[in-house]
Amino acid sequence: MNTKKPTLKKLSPSFGSSILVKQHIDKVDKNDAYWHFHPELELIYINKGQGKTHIGNHLSYFNNSQLILIGSNLPHNGFTDRLTANGTETTVQFKSNFLGDDFVNIPEMANLVSLFDLAKKGIRFKMETKAVMGPKINNLLEYAGLDRVIKFLEILNYLALTDDYSLLNADGFAFEAEAQDSNKIDIIFKYVNKNFQNHITLNEIADQVSITVPAFCRYFKKVTGKTFTQLVNEYRVVHATKLLNETQMSIADVCFECGFNNFSHFNKQFNEITGKSASNYRKEIKLIIQ
């Protein structure tokens, strides 16, 4: 059983290093994916894998490579449901002032400071940038000391200058919060993640965090900017995109498998959240070869 509590997560770079570089080559257990945040920014490169991208209030499903920069204190879940046999996931965690407060303020750092600010929305880089920067990120482990810092600054500089990206618009969700707030949100998200295929009443979810329904509704709207019902529908639609992508299930079967009990309601929610119908989504997925 996963006992990790994703309140404020403390990261410790290895001795003598200002940035933390980690690489997973083996299969990643999705039970290790949990809701957490930290003051460090996080650059994630997955060269082949699939899973959910859940950053702040952004939810989507991916079935390809990923290069994402997550801003400071932006809550996120672990990424990969699983990695293919030859897949790797490399993460670099660093503070915006990892080279000191004075360094951040020099004129030459202006583009990087803008990048770090933009990362509060969550940045997903596109194909060209992934192709150029992905191998360089993977290779960071081969360097140490100042060499690693220089290579990393080159990567950040490239990312700061490219316009080959889209924003996940996960802003408005960063925590400058107390740890207990984060713990409450963690309980809510874990419960939804486990039970979204069934009907979840407001009484039921409010009871999970031991507050009244009106207090829960106020708290949830304040922290996430949306209603609880909206969040559950987003979870269901994200799961639907996964099923439409990975299975041959009919769209009607996908609807009910995701916890919707009304086909027209499913279609309306899918359209609102993804901007297209489920049938068009499936057609487009078949055309995308990345």
Classify 94 as helix, strand or coil.
Answer: strand
* pLDDT for position 244: 86
Same fold across 20-167 and 179-287 = no
Neighbours of 147 (CB within 10 A): 11
What are the structural domain ranges in the chain? 20-167, 179-287
Q: Which fold has domain 179-287?
A: Arc Repressor Mutant, subunit A (1.10.10)
Which of the four pLDDT bands, split at 50, 70 and 90, describes residue 181?
A: low
Q: Determine the CATH number of domain 20-167.
A: 2.60.120
Could you give the dihedral angle defined by the CA atoms of residues 65, 68, 74 and 78, in that order, rounded to the nearest 10 degrees?
Answer: 20
Q: Is the pTM of this model over 0.85?
A: no
Sequence-separated contacts (24+) of 189-197 with Cβ below 8 Å: 189/35, 189/77, 190/34, 190/35, 192/231, 192/232, 192/235, 193/235, 196/232, 196/235, 196/236, 196/239, 196/258, 196/259, 197/236, 197/239, 197/257, 197/258, 197/259
Lowest mean pLDDT among 39-53, 80-94, 147-161, 207-221: 80-94
Give 109-162 pLDDT, tens digit per residue.
999 999 999 998 899 999 999 999 999 999 999 998 899 999 999 999 999 999
Give 13-47 pLDDT, tens digit per residue.
544 457 888 886 655 444 445 667 778 899 999 88
